[in-house]
Amino acid sequence: MDSVEAYLADIIAAIRPLPTRELPLAGAVGAVLADDVTALHPLPSFDNSSMDGYAVRASDVTTASRENPVVLVVSGEVAAGDTRRHDLVPGSALKIMTGALLPAGADAVVPVEQTDGGTERVAITQPVPAGAAVRTAGGDAQPGDLLLSAGTRLGPVHVGLLSAAGHGAVTARPRPRVTVIATGNELVEPGGQLEPGQIYESNALMLAAAARQAGCPAVQHPIVRDDTGAVLTAITDALTSADLLVTSGGVSMGGEHDAVKAALSTLGTVTFRRVAMQPGMPQGFGTVGPAATPIFTLPGNPVSAYVSFCLFVRPALDAMQGIFRERSKRGPATLAEPVRSPAGRRSYLRGILDADAGLVTPVAGQASHQLANLARANALIIVPEEVTSLEAGASVDVMELP
Amino acid sequence: MDSVEAYLADIIAAIRPLPTRELPLAGAVGAVLADDVTALHPLPSFDNSSMDGYAVRASDVTTASRENPVVLVVSGEVAAGDTRRHDLVPGSALKIMTGALLPAGADAVVPVEQTDGGTERVAITQPVPAGAAVRTAGGDAQPGDLLLSAGTRLGPVHVGLLSAAGHGAVTARPRPRVTVIATGNELVEPGGQLEPGQIYESNALMLAAAARQAGCPAVQHPIVRDDTGAVLTAITDALTSADLLVTSGGVSMGGEHDAVKAALSTLGTVTFRRVAMQPGMPQGFGTVGPAATPIFTLPGNPVSAYVSFCLFVRPALDAMQGIFRERSKRGPATLAEPVRSPAGRRSYLRGILDADAGLVTPVAGQASHQLANLARANALIIVPEEVTSLEAGASVDVMELP
């Protein structure tokens, strides 16, 4: 059996980051910059007022006080978005709005609250230093300044900054598109009628949602029956629109009806391996198709499938964007109840973590089909391979579920 | 001036949770359950095998050993998805696949690894207890068991569970639809040509992305000029397809060109208030239209707009789904550098938090137009109203940015 680390390392080694693309900003959230982005122009691009008030020369209002206001002629008004050139005649003032271009000759803005708000003449009741209430051109960034580093996953503020800095589009690695294919003769679409021996499909729905939660566009393929040809057709179809494929089911260790295993014996580089973990021992990974598209063949047990997704598919999705660091939050916690674990396999037990108390309680049922118990959990309790039991009060490593 | 808490409390008091709707599972991720969901049927709904192997009566194989295997006639095979009734003749075995219906009369499954894998007859080399490798009907949930509690925000595993349990749809409060409207004569669409006095629009892009990051579908309205009629039209248009509106700009304290303020003086219940915080002092909130749609009028400064979104709009979005608890992660950290803060206002300084070291470093420029500095931050450093400076080494409250 392979260790979890060895298996993950092999996956990551096989992943080629997606090529970079020119993305419009509105579609760039979640994409990852391949290169540093620098400022092309000063930001802001012109001196402007940070308040509503009066543009002045600071030297004209040095004696202003509430008792002896300085009274200046108001020679005009500059609104935000006014692109005309305004010149301040020394000894006068121009009314100015927040964000408006500072007139030539002005070096400060007196906030309206420190005046009588006059329109023909204004009485100014406090002096202001030069530069007061002025946002200087380049005060946020100068041309050539680093705005965002290579490897940044673009969030709301980043696209805002790119837009403000005049980048209408950005070169980045987009989020991988995921297709999830559930296989199995026993599967029935949610809400339909069940006969004994049949179950409702839930894995493709869950895994596609998990891919979306990881930031990726994801689609579910319709249920595929346990037929090698049908599985091959589904995979080939999906290759036209997916950057990464996930199958669920059809890969148990001894079954002759393992259609996914059979299909992938004729296509791609997938190897099926036993990984020293529970749940999720039977794993398969490789690439298929002309673009060497990564494919994961996850176990059909829903808990196994979900844990495998968190441990292997999420890091692979990150790696396709050139990000190779851990995204899950891990840390120590104290076990509230004893746990057992098989020798030689690392357990990822489902638990309820109280992060404030640093306490984690295993859920009642730990079998790998017990989805209701997984749904109560918010963390995985990691029990090392060589440990077969832990008492309440033991310190354990815990990984928060996304 | 109002405190941050008083202002937020008024917002939350004015929010009416969205009505519940019947949502298909594929569209239900992010929705919030209004009622508990219980199991209608046993889960799993029938006894089935957890492994590939042979269904037997455990009492028929009690003497099995490697030296003296028990040999049983294999009288047939049950695959996953086989809905026929199979009966086990005592003293024989049925080949069975993972997930397949346990035949009547069988009470255990011998894993294929503990046999010779025979097809006519099988030699079994280990005894198994009754119940071995059998997932019992109802072993995950019994009819009437609580599956998910009211108030649960549905994630991937939850929709998987609902599907598995036969719920083809779910009654829940959907994620609010958000429309963001940026106003200002100075705004130019990203990537266009700028004249002095103009800036690129970035707030609507950023805030719509922030709403999506909070799980909500969001659209940007095209830029609206500083014209009361144009603003009214934009708001009225947006009311047809949004559950919550956000405007940016047009609300400074003293401007006569404040088109948003002017428009909302004729429509809805919006009040404009000064909140004792920096950035983001000028705030406006109320409801508009026949559905009493919440509307936030955020400041035009990008840092003020974003901080206001985090502090007020995100909790309001949660409240529209009936969730009234804090979503942001907060905690103490040690200041790496000294900071200053205005008396009487709570500062939300932008900082870079090293969570492992418990250390937070304020970014270099803290003015509310300095978006490049916000883009470097991952946390807000909260300085209380009565504090005007803090030394390096001081303990501060820090709120992680989403």
**According to the model, what pLDDT value does residue A255 have?**
54
Same domain, B183 and B272: yes
Of the candidates B135, B161, B187, which is a domain's last residue? B135
Rounded to the nearest 10°, the torsion over CA B251, B254, B258, B261 is 60
| Contact between A351 and A362 (Cβ < 8 Å) | yes
| Contact between B120 and B72 (Cβ < 8 Å) | no
Same domain, A192 and A270: yes
Q: Is B73 exposed, middle or buried (0-12, 13-18, 19+ CB in 10 A)?
A: middle
The answer to whether position A325 is within a domain reads no
| pLDDT, mean over chain A | 95
**According to the model, what pLDDT value does residue B250 have?**
84
Q: Are the Cβ atoms of B255 and A117 closer than 8 angstroms?
A: no
**According to the model, what pLDDT value does residue B161 have?**
97
The answer to whether position B184 is within a domain reads yes
Same domain, B13 and B32: no
The answer to whether position A271 is within a domain reads yes
Q: By mean pLDDT, which of A327-336, B53-62, B151-160 is the weakest?
A: A327-336
DSSP A399: E
CA A60 to chain centre: 52
What CATH number does residue B372 fall under? Answer: 2.40.340.10
Q: Are the Cβ atoms of A253 and B101 closer than 8 angstroms?
A: no
Cα A244 to Cα A123, A176, A251, A295, B385: the distances in Å are: 68, 7, 18, 6, 51
**According to the model, what pLDDT value does residue A256 have?**
59
Q: What percent of chain A has pLDDT over 90?
A: 92
The answer to whether position A268 is within a domain reads yes
**Which residue in the set A48, A140, A168 is minimally distant from B365, CB to CB?**
A140
Q: How many Å lie between the alpha carbon of A255 and the closest alpha carbon of chain B?
A: 6
Residue B254 has pLDDT above 60, yes or no: no
DSSP string, A60-91: GSTT--SSS-EEEEEEEEE-TT--S--BPPTT
Residues of B in contact with A80 (CB under 8 A): 184-186, 197, 226, 257
pLDDT digits (tens, 9 = 90+) for A185-236: 999 998 788 999 999 999 999 999 999 999 999 999 999 999 999 999 999 9
Same domain, A97 and A168: no
Same domain, A107 and A65: yes
Question: HEC states along A139-171?
Answer: CCECCCCEEECCCCECCHHHHHHHHHCCCCEEE
Same domain, A246 and A350: no
DSSP B26: G
Max intra-chain CA distance, chain A: 97
CA–CA gap between residue B282 and residue B53 (Å, rounded): 70
Same domain, B281 and B378: no
**According to the model, what pLDDT value does residue B159 have?**
98
The answer to whether position A293 is within a domain reads yes
**According to the model, what pLDDT value does residue A257 have?**
66
Residue B277 has pLDDT above 60, yes or no: yes
Pick from A205, A216, A313, A370 the residue to mutate for testing the B interface (most B CBs within 10 Å). A205
CA–CA gap between residue B46 and residue B41 (Å, rounded): 10
For A132-171, b/e burial (b = at least 16 CB within 10 A) is: bbbbebbbbbeeeeebbeebbbbbbbbbbbbbbbbbebbe
Residue A93 has pLDDT above 80, yes or no: yes
Same domain, B213 and B306: yes
Q: What percent of chain B has pLDDT over 90?
A: 92
Residue A60 has pLDDT above 60, yes or no: yes
Same domain, A25 and A169: yes
Which residue has tokens 């040690």?
B334
**Which residue in the set A25, A141, A213 is minimally distant from B156, CB to CB?**
A213
| Contact between B248 and B206 (Cβ < 8 Å) | no
pLDDT digits (tens, 9 = 90+) for B263-272: 999 999 999 9
Give the residue on A whose Cα is nearest the Cα of B212.
A156
**Which residue in the set A52, A100, A156 is minimally distant from B253, CB to CB?**
A52
**According to the model, what pLDDT value does residue B328 have?**
75
**According to the model, what pLDDT value does residue B135 have?**
96
pLDDT digits (tens, 9 = 90+) for A271-282: 999 999 999 999
| Contact between B116 and A174 (Cβ < 8 Å) | no
Same domain, A34 and A155: yes
The answer to whether position B338 is within a domain reads yes
pLDDT digits (tens, 9 = 90+) for A293-342: 999 999 999 999 999 999 999 999 999 999 988 767 789 999 999 999 99
Q: Are the Cβ atoms of A367 and B44 closer than 8 angstroms?
A: no
Of the candidates B319, B339, B370, which is a domain's last residue? B319
**Domain count within chain B:** 4
- When pLDDT is cut at 50, 70 and 90, the band that residue B190 belongs to is confident
DSSP A103: P
**According to the model, what pLDDT value does residue B193 have?**
87
Map residue B380 onto helix, strand or coil: strand
Give the residue on B whose Cα is nearest the Cα of A377.
B157
**According to the model, what pLDDT value does residue B256 have?**
59
The answer to whether position A324 is within a domain reads no
What does the pLDDT average to over B118-122? 96
**According to the model, what pLDDT value does residue B251 have?**
82
The closest of B291, B319, B279, B306 to B378, measured between CA atoms, is B306
Same domain, B186 and B312: yes
Residues of A in contact with B51 (CB under 8 A): 252, 254
Which residue has tokens 């290579």?
A150
Q: Could you tell me the residue range of the domain that residue B162 belongs to?
A: 21-42+148-173
- When pLDDT is cut at 50, 70 and 90, the band that residue B191 belongs to is confident
B355 or B73, greater pLDDT: B73
Q: What percent of chain A has pLDDT over 70?
A: 99
DSSP B186: T
What does the pLDDT average to over A152-165? 97
What CATH number does residue B236 fall under? Answer: 3.40.980.10
pLDDT digits (tens, 9 = 90+) for A339-355: 999 999 999 999 999 99
User: Contacts from B119-123 at CB under 8 Å and sequence distance 24+?
Assistant: B119/B74, B119/B95, B120/B73, B120/B74, B121/B71, B121/B72, B121/B73, B121/B74, B122/B54, B122/B71, B122/B72, B122/B74, B122/B93, B122/B95, B123/B69, B123/B70, B123/B71
Same domain, B26 and B167: yes
The answer to whether position B143 is within a domain reads no
Backbone angles phi, psi at A308, to 5 degrees: -60, -40
**According to the model, what pLDDT value does residue B325 have?**
81
